Every structure is written in structure tokens, then in C-alpha cells.
């Protein structure tokens, strides 16, 4: 029997404090609207659609932050099964290997263990979503012109967390009773990135068969 989400995902195990929206802001109101739709049991394909009259960048920003929180929570709980010894390479099976690159220390794609990659990834995303020049929170401050490209990169890398977790740690997900919750999070994520064409379809190949099975 599946456990409730709070039992399955111990918040003490998350990598980072959850990024929260300031009450009273438009972003907070959008977040509440999105969460209310999720909890109402509406079809996930309908939930991800842009509400009438809302700004698409605000809608994407809210979801990027929410997906970061949720996926960070999932991996934070799975991290005890994902170690330097069990996962010396950040991969998705034998066919896919993900190397880390950023604008600081790692200027060329670098082979890392899965735990190292995940830590770098969560640090990198946290820095971006807390950067007011990229994710502005004040009214009247415009999004940068490359905002959606930045979000595409964030979401593409977050998708790789799903790839690694599903392919290498699915037994652990099942043993924890978390399969239904992880699947729902994945479906929500998948329908969102497809609705707004935010990830190149080639990046989705590692989970193609599973996606066709659970995302109708």
C-alpha cells in the first residue's frame, strides 16, 4: 500500500530549503492556482495549460521553481541509494551518460559520479532561480529575453534526474511505496514541457517507452 507523500518523502533529506513564493505577489497567486488545479483531480494535460490572461513567462517560472522543489525532494529521498560506489557515472542505463558543464569550474563537459552531478545541478539551479535578473520577483521588472532558453536548460537537466532515478533506482522507489507519487510528478513535468515545447524530443529518448506507457 502506497504511503502518503509526507511519509514517503522525508523533507529532512532534501538537498536545499524549498524555494518559496512571497505571499501577495502575482507569482504566489499563480502558484496557488496551479496547486489548486492539481489537488482538484483535473486531468494533468489540462492543469498545465496557460490560464487565460496570464503571462506565459510567469507561468513557466512558477512551474520551473515547483518542479525544482519536487524533483529535489524525490532525489533527496533516493540519495541514500545513489552513492559514489553504486553510481560512479551519471548515467541513464548503458546508452546514456551525462557530463557536467557550467560557466565556472567546469568549462568542458566533465565526467562525474551521479551524486556529484546531482549536487552540482541543484546548486546551479538554486543560483539561477534566486537571481533577480533571471527570475524577477518584483512587479514591473521584465524577464530577460533569454528566459525561456534558460528554463529549457534547467528543465532538460532536471529531466536527467528522472532518467537516472527511473533507470537505476526504480526498485527503491517501489520498496518505499513511492511509485505512484513519482509517476504523477513525472507525468505533470512531461505534460508541461510538451505543452510549451521546452525540451528537445531527443533528450526524452531514454524514457520514451515508459512515457508512452504512463502518459496517454
What residue numbers does the annotated binding site for Zn(2+) cover? 82, 87, 164, 169
Please name the residue that has the C-alpha cell 512515457: 211
Residue positions counted in the chain: 216
- Displacement of CA 179 from its chain's centroid (Å): 16
Q: What is the Cβ-side half-sphere exposure of residue 30, based on CA atoms within 13 angstroms?
A: 25
Choose among 116, 24, 37: nearest CA to 79.
116
Q: Which residues of 85-104 are buried (b: 16+ CB within 10 A; e: fewer)?
A: eebeebbbeeebebebeeee
Amino acid at each position: 500500500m502506497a504511503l502518503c507523500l509526507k511519509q514517503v518523502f522525508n523533507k529532512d533529506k532534501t538537498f536545499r530549503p524549498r524555494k518559496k513564493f512571497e505571499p501577495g505577489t502575482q507569482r504566489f497567486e499563480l502558484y496557488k492556482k496551479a496547486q489548486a488545479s492539481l489537488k482538484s483531480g483535473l486531468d494533468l494535460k489540462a492543469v498545465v495549460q496557460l490560464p487565460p490572461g496570464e503571462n506565459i513567462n510567469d507561468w513557466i517560472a512558477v512551474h520551473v521553481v515547483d518542479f525544482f522543489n519536487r524533483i529535489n525532494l524525490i532525489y533527496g529521498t533516493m540519495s541514500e541509494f545513489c552513492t559514489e560506489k553504486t553510481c560512479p557515472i551519471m548515467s541513464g542505463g548503458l546508452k546514456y551518460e551525462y557530463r557536467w558543464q557550467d560557466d565556472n569550474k567546469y568549462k568542458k563537459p566533465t565526467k562525474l559520479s551521479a551524486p556529484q552531478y546531482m549536487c552540482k545541478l541543484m546548486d546551479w539551479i538554486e543560483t539561477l532561480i534566486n537571481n533577480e535578473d533571471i527570475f524577477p520577483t518584483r512587479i514591473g521588472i521584465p524577464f530577460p529575453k533569454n528566459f525561456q532558453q534558460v528554463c529549457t536548460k534547467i528543465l532538460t537537466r532536471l529531466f536527467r534526474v528522472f532518467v537516472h532515478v527511473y533507470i537505476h533506482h526504480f526498485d527503491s522507489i517501489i520498496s518505499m511505496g513511492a511509485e505512484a507519487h513519482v509517476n504523477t510528478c513525472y507525468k505533470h513535468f512531461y505534460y508541461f514541457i510538451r505543452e510549451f515545447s521546452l525540451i528537445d524530443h531527443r533528450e526524452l529518448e531514454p524514457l520514451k517507452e515508459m512515457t508512452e506507457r504512463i502518459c496517454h
